[in-house]
Structure 1
Amino acid sequence: MNRLDLTPYDALLLDFDNTLLATEEFHVMGFTKALKQLLDYDLTREDEIGYMGRTTTSMSAMIIGRLGRHDVTPEQVTELKRQLVLEVFEPKVYPGVVEFLSKQKGKRVIAVVSNSPRDFVEHAMSLSGLTPYVDALLTCDDVVRCKPDPEIFLKASSRVGVPVPRCLVFEDSEIGLQASLSGGFASVLVLNPDNIVPRTIPTSVHLTTWFHLLEGLC
């Protein structure tokens, strides 16, 4: 992994789930229980992989359509899953994240850009102590089309007042990279422990870890 030069960028747009915090186990647990309770469906490993980076609503719609069910809506699955996750969630910030954010605070605008619902992200940020480092927050509640559509990143760029070429996106998933790259953003793939690495990674994407980033910040 080569050293990442941050000097060309005035804003850092950071994905949340499995980029800043290890949240996958809670989302999968809540989704698994919601699907079982409402649809009597057992989430498969293939489903889990497809779920990474997607909204619960979009993944639920795919499963419901596959099952040919009309008695349960994706929104019902999403709401039950949200309640189940909030009941048990415990923050697990990846090592190096707080140090990185503290070094960047005041030097660059920091925005969290997440496909998760706002109430969950705000709750998780508060519990994990990340709120003071973040200047702006955009979630799936703020857009019509969530990732892999670039709308949320384009809206984040506009919200913080920094043009796309001066923004750098940090992602962990294939869905997230699709969104950032299609929006014309320079992008970083953060290789956190236990994350599912995208099958195809464009050569323009910089690969790094939080510790590697801390070794030579600009």
Structure 2
Amino acid sequence: MKSAAIFDLDGTLVDSGSAYFSAERDTLAHFGYAGFTVADHSSFTGMGMEEMWKEVAATWGLDISPAELLKCSNRFYLRHAREGVRVFSEVVELARMLRDAGFAIAVASGSSQEVIEVVLSCTGLDHLFPIRVSAEEVQQGKPEPFVFLEASRLLSVEPDRCVVVEDASVGVEAGLRAGMRCVAVTAAAALAHPRSACAGRLLLAERDVLDARAVLRWITQGEGVVRPGMVDS
């Protein structure tokens, strides 16, 4: 029976956090608002970009539409992305291994379709991910499950045959709510605090010691293959 792996893009496949922060800061500065900090950026990590700008506009009391903010931030982000973003090589290796093992592969991201296309092209990953889904194509972004369910539909794979690879808690929540298993590529500090007890459905894998082969075995064989730096909950 066919299986699939659905990867988040930003923070999972590519280290784009600094580029997004710069784009968000530049956008607010463009409209005359200063003081956007790294902490502000971090508080919105994992959200779809449309939802993020709705929250920013409401929190900061901006008299600018979220759509206009999003359009501006995408323009700034694309400029930064074309200057180069770093790939997380071990996560990319996991994607290649899953593809070679016969898994259908997709990207499902909170970013716009244009951003997804540019980042995949700039990093040379476009050939690896023929199916790309943006949150702008579904009714709501993460933590709602729709972006992953749409990827499942396009791949013609039932949700319970899909595994999601994510870095953000809202993405993990979206994957689990979609009825999929999930690999959370996370920082060491988060390993001791799983978000939910989903027996056999959630693997927390420490990014700094990520072992793509061990994660592949967990995905394909299930429990009993957890290694140091990995927590199966």
TM-score range, shorter chain: 0.7 to 0.9
Deviation at 1:178, TM superposition (A): 1.8
Two-structure CA RMSD over aligned residues (Å): 2.5
Retained in 1: the 8 A contact 2:14–2:86?
yes
Structure 2 residue 95 is matched with structure 1 residue 101: yes
| Deviation string, structure 1 residues 162-201 (Cα, Å, up to 9, x no partner) | 11111001110011112111222111101269x9889752
How many percent identity over aligned positions?
A: 23
Residue equivalent to 1:80: 72
Match of 1:208 among 205, 210, 217: 205
Moved over 6 A (4+): 195-199
Residue equivalent to 1:53: 46
For the residue of structure 1 that corresponds to 2:9, the secondary structure is: coil
For the residue of structure 2 that corresponds to 1:35, the secondary structure is: helix
Match of 1:132 among 108, 127, 137: 127
For the residue of structure 1 that corresponds to 2:105, the secondary structure is: strand
Residue equivalent to 1:162: 157
Q: Which segments of 5 or more consecutive residues in structure 2 lack a partner in the other structure?
A: 218-233
Retained in 2: the 8 A contact 1:191–1:209?
yes
Query: Amino acid of the residue matched to residue 79 of structure 1?
Result: K
Name the structure with the higher strand share. 2
| Deviation string, structure 1 residues 6-55 (Cα, Å, up to 9, x no partner) | xx971001111000000010011100110122151422344222210112
Structure 1 length-normalised TM: 0.85
Q: Which segments of 5 or more consecutive residues in structure 1 lack a partner in the other structure?
A: 1-7
Deviation at 1:141, TM superposition (A): 2.6
Deviation at 1:91, TM superposition (A): 2.5
Structure 2 residue 142 is matched with structure 1 residue 147: yes
The 1-side partners of 2:192 and 2:25 are apart by: 22
Retained in 2: the 8 A contact 1:173–1:196?
no
Question: Residues 149, 76 of structure 1: CA spacing in aligned structure 2 closer, same or farther, 3 A cutoff?
Answer: same
Retained in 2: the 8 A contact 1:15–1:112?
yes
Retained in 2: the 8 A contact 1:93–1:128?
yes
